[in-house]
A = this chain, B = another copy of it.
Amino acid sequence: MRNLKVMTAYRGTNYHGFQKQENAVGVQNIIEEKLGYLTGAPVKVNGCSRTDTGVHANEYCFSFETEHKIPCGNIVRGMNSLLPDDISILSCEEAAVDFHARYSCKAKEYVYLILNRPSKDPFMADLALHYPYALDTELMERSAQDFVGTHDFTSFCGTANRKEDSVRTIEYFRIEKNENLVKLIVKGDGFLYNMVRVMVGTLIFINEGKLAPDSIPDILSAKDRDLAGKTIQAHGLYLNRVFY
Contact = CB atoms under 8 A, between A and B. Distances in A.
Contacts of A87: 122
B11 A85 contact: no
Interface stretch (A61-69, A123-131, A162-170, A226-234): A123-131
A123 B11 CA distance: 6
A76 B119 CA distance: 9
A229 to B, nearest CB: 24
A46 interface: no
Interface in A152-188: none
A127 B126 CA distance: 14
A101 to B, nearest CB: 19
Q: Which residue of A10, A85, A122 has the most chain B CB atoms within 10 A of its CB atom?
A: A122
Interface in A103-145: 119-123, 125-127
A208 interface: no
A180 to B, nearest CB: 13
Contacts of A126: 85
A88 B11 contact: no
B120 A88 contact: yes
Interface string A26-62: 0000000000000000000000000000001000000
B119 A11 contact: no
Contacts of A119: 76, 80, 88-90
A120 B80 CA distance: 8
Contacts of A90: 119
Contacts of A122: 9-11, 85-88
Contacts of A9: 121-123
Contacts of A123: 9, 11, 56, 127
A87 B123 CA distance: 9
A126 B127 CA distance: 14
Given A11-B122, A11-B125, A56-B123, 9 more contacts: A9-B121, A9-B123, A10-B122, A11-B123, A86-B125, A87-B122, A88-B119, A88-B121, A123-B127
7 contacts: A9-B121, A10-B122, A76-B119, A80-B120, A85-B120, A85-B122, A86-B125
